[in-house]
A and B are shown apart, each in its own frame.
Chain A
């Protein structure tokens, strides 16, 4: 939130001129009939995607030359907002002249980019990207019908954010590699969740199979487990600085029991570890003296030096011992 965000702009002002033009006068709106196709020896494909009940639905018509698998004619009908109509129109346009196999490669992002007035400025506001997604899905549906295969066979990855076409694999990898902790970071790094926001968490415009909040939580849990395993390995290998806090406490207590406590007890005293705090430069061990050690003159000089030196020697040079 900042100065430029204080007043939300008009949604329509964020549409490109191409979107506006196609909304007012779509070039490829209409139907292709069986009679037309029969006359030319083409195969008619009619595919629906979306649902009026969702607020967006599209019907795609293709006339395909079966000799070359080329889409000769492409038309659409659409129930939807300006973005849905304009992106359906552009999607139909992009299909013309392509083989069915190549048309499947057209994504909603291709459609949105084709609707831009200039390459750097999005054609629609972020929340409207969702309306261009079904333009991509309906192509897969049409291609599936033509080729006699299930449309899911065109997806080799699980897409979590359809607006930005970000896959589950990519999300998991980016979260791990960059140690991402928040959804905002995930969106900054991947653009997932930056458009219609349905994929962020349940309760958005559409129910999704995967949500960013769950993916982030799962990957973070996996990362924590991996860290724990690494720490456990470190503990067994004696790598003090890589140990978990509990392992560090155990290791310090062990050294104290083996090499320090007996001398303190001989003088009627003792000590206990209160806390351990890690920082980039030091591992601070807070201790409290007990019995005769408490108030003893050397507890802040010789005894303290001996404890710290022993822990440094046996565990880490980064250790500082701080009596409280």
Chain B
């Protein structure tokens, strides 16, 4: 059995989304900016997609939702444009973000620091979130922007966006949220929270890769990242990616319709998986309370089993999962979120992320429980740290001199 449990990385395109996109590759292929009928033929579908987007997040007609290539572009756009508009050409010099943002925010902030911008990286608590009162104490008169993710990609933990938005509103500071892991997983109602900018990505909710969007409250002025033609009202140049816009519209509609019911179904499977792993395995723990987590996500830590080793065995069992820890990528560092929440360094090398989707079946959950426990048993038998071995005559192992 093949099981895909890496839905926080990307998702399968919903077949209904694919079906909606296909005509715009082959039949209705005109450039929507053209005046002739080949171009204008796509306008109803683009309008429909725009309406689907506005409805899904309950944006007002005074707001803008601009299609971009991905959330990375949306995040870059907000941060770099605020730098130009409010720092280079204004009297601010400060941006506030968190230690656990996606690299598209963190790397851009580090780039801006090199340009002289002061950036504060807020720490997370033992649940892996930044508390609203923490944000309040770091905003100054020089703060131009606060950028905080809505939900964390590794833990699924949901940040107090409503409270943070209120604080920013009171202090007159622009507020951006990277909602990539929230949209389509939990209710996102922009009439209920104060958000000036919000980044989204279609491939996280069963849409295609290569299309994202940026929500801009009340058409707030923002220097374009891409200059060129007059596409999207001059806010984002580049010929409209019609099939993908259609796909994103359809995907967000499908993901957000009856979202509470969808969440309940996914949560039930997630909880069953989590309960089984916690019950059947010793010395494991999951990060963050379930109530405040996206309903599809588990970050589980297994004492004595290094992350990539576990991923290897799961892959051999045809299970796709993920780890942000040491050897899973070219980066040898421990899982930064795990470290941030206070896990010890050994545990920070053991986190495995299992992220479900609405397509995950009960049979798949059963198979993962069985395979997961087998893998843990095998790797713990090899493990130098978990095995109940005799003390070392030569003394304890070397201290780690790792950098953090």
Question: Which A positions have Cβ atoms within 8 angstroms of B?
Answer: 8, 11-12, 23-24, 26, 29, 31, 33-34, 44-59, 76-85, 127-128, 130-131, 141, 144-145, 196, 202-207
Contact = CB atoms under 8 A, between A and B. Distances in A.
Interface string B357-387: 0000000000000000000000001111111
B327 A128 contact: yes
Contacts of B137: none
Interface SS, B side: loop
Interface in B258-306: 304-306
Contact of B349 (A29, A33, A52): A52
A127 B331 CA distance: 8
A11 B332 contact: no
B384 A205 contact: no
Given A53-B344, A79-B305, 8 more contacts: A12-B312, A47-B394, A48-B397, A48-B398, A53-B349, A55-B306, A78-B384, A206-B401
Contacts of A47: 392, 394
Contact of B327 (A26, A76, A80, A202): A80
Nearest to A205: B332
Contact of A53 (B345, B382, B386): B345
A202 B403 contact: yes
Given A51-B397, A53-B400, A54-B402, A11 B384 contact: no
Given A55-B327, A79-B304, A202-B403, A48 B384 contact: yes
B30 interface: no
Contacts of B334: 53, 55
A80 B397 contact: no
Contacts of B381: 29
A47 B305 CA distance: 20
A50 B306 contact: no
13 contacts: A48-B392, A50-B398, A50-B400, A52-B384, A53-B402, A55-B306, A81-B309, A84-B306, A127-B332, A128-B327, A141-B394, A204-B332, A205-B333
B396 interface: yes
B330 interface: yes
Interface string B309-328: 10010011000000001110
B403 A205 contact: yes
Contacts of A48: 384, 392, 394-398
Contacts of A56: 306, 326
A57 B395 CA distance: 14
A54 B327 contact: no
A203 B386 CA distance: 29
Interface SS, A side: mixed
B62 interface: no
A76 B399 CA distance: 19
Contacts of B307: 81
A206 B402 CA distance: 4
Nearest to A15: B312
Instruction: Assign chain B's interface to a size class.
Output: 35 or more
A212 to B, nearest CB: 16
Nearest to A130: B332
Contacts of B398: 48-51
A260 to B, nearest CB: 51
A204 B403 CA distance: 7
A83 B382 contact: no
Contact of A77 (B344, B387, B402): B387
A144 B334 CA distance: 30
Nearest to B386: A79
Contact of B393 (A46, A50, A130, A196): A46
Nearest to B349: A55
Nearest to B329: A11
B308 interface: yes
Contact of A82 (B308, B330, B386, B392): B308
Nearest to B397: A48
B346 interface: yes
Contacts of B1: none
Contacts of B309: 23, 80-82, 84-85
Contact of B397 (A24, A57, A202, A205): A57
B311 to A, nearest CB: 9
B390 interface: yes
Contacts of B316: 24
A141 to B, nearest CB: 7
Instruction: In the A-B complex, list the 4 residue pairs whose CB atoms are closest, starting with the nearest.
Output: A53-B345, A81-B327, A55-B326, A52-B346
Contacts of A85: 309, 382
Nearest to A208: B401
A23 B312 contact: yes
A143 B402 CA distance: 25
B308 A46 contact: no
A104 to B, nearest CB: 15
Given A57-B384, A77-B382, A131-B327, A49 B397 contact: yes
B35 interface: no
Which of the listed residues A8, A46, A48 has the most CB atoms from chain B within 10 Å of its own CB?
A48
A221 B346 CA distance: 41
Contacts of B403: 202-207
Given A29-B381, A57-B384, A205-B402, A82 B312 contact: yes
A16 to B, nearest CB: 15
Which of the listed residues B309, B386, B393 has the most CB atoms from chain A within 10 Å of its own CB?
B309
